[in-house]
Structures are given as C-alpha cells and as structure tokens.
Amino acid sequence: MSTEMLKDALDFDLIADVFVSESITASPAELHGQLCGYLASGVTLPLEDWLTMVVEFCDIESWKEEASRVAIVDLYNATLTLFQNGEYALVPSIADDDAELCERGVTLSQWAHGFLAGYGLSGQKKDLSEETKQILRDFANISGMQSEMRSLEENNDNEADLTELVEYVRLSAMMMYSEHHDINPDADHSKQNALH
C-alpha cells in the first residue's frame, strides 16, 4: 500500500466520523496518540489487544457498524506500517490544515496526552534513554497546553510555531519507535491484519 494511502487511514476527520457514528465522545487525536505511544515504547501490541484497548478507551460495548471497526483496524495497520517502513512519513492524527489554528493546537495537545497514556499503559519504564525522558517531558508540556491552544490566535507566528511543534512530535515518536525496532521497508500490515 502506498504511503499516501496509509496516511489517509490516519485522517482525523475520518476517525472523528467513526466516533460520531458510534456515539463516542472521546478524542480521535488522543486515541491515535495512545496507539503511537504504546508502539513507540517497544512493547508489541497485537491487533486484538489494540481493539480491546479501543473499546475500553471509547467506553463502548461493541461496534454499532462494521465499517467503524474496519476504520480502527486500518488506523492500527497504517500506523504500524508507517512506523516500520523507514520513510518517516507517520503523521499525528490531528485536525488538518483547513481547521482553525486553535483546533489544530488542541488536537495536538490531545494527541500528546494520548501518547503519554499509551506509553504508560505499555508498562515500559526501565532503562529509558535521556533523550526518551526529555521527549516524554516535552510531550507532557504539550499535553498540558490545551487551554493555551484554545485561545491561539490566527497569525503567521503561531502558525509557524504550531507547525514546528507538530514536526517535533512526529519525528520524536518515530525516533522513539526506532530505538526499539528495526526498519523494514517491506512492512505492510494491511496485508497481514486484513479483516476476513
């Protein structure tokens, strides 16, 4: 599957639509952050365990629509493939460039919060490199900026700052993942974890 098709599965609006159709009030950005944090910790997360985590995170009994489950499986497969394929093309699932700057900022904070939660859920706490500790501190700071992000004014300086933060978060997540895993240019989890 092409990198662009994989990135389409991470589209914030796509996951937000799933949440609406399933009556889920949680943040799609936070859910994707949780997946990325867990995977970046170096701990293996099988698809079925991920699906269980999603049901718990979203506080639902089961999926109302099979298409919703498929979208969540696609999110997992695309994220794992983008982490592994060495193209460094993973992007956080946050509100896109068409959204207001404040919404993009809030969803980035939610993503960082989810990343920290996922990393914590993995149980990986020993032998953290200084760089990893610094990244986790930075993500905690970004996570704590939701109220500041809500009042972010539309201007070029704020736009540039937010773009820089998104890039830092994106690259940091991939760097943490690559500390624990080898790159596999042939990785394509959409084939291995297809729904039957």
HEC profile of the chain: CCHHHHHHCCCHHHHHHHHHHCCCCCCHHHHHHHHHHHHHCCCCCCHHHHHHHHHHHHCCCCCCCHHHHHHHHHHHHHHHHHHHCCCCCCCCCCCCCCCCHHHHHHHHHHHHHHHHHHHHHCCCCCCCCHHHHHHHHHHHHHHCCHHHHHCCCCCHHHHHHHHHHHHHHHHHHHHHHHHHCCCCCCCCHHHHCCCC
Residue 196 has what pLDDT?
38
Mean pLDDT of the chain: 90
Residue 3 has what pLDDT?
83
Residue 123 has what pLDDT?
87
Low-confidence stretches of the chain (pLDDT beneath 70): 1, 185, 187-196
pTM for this model (two decimals): 0.91
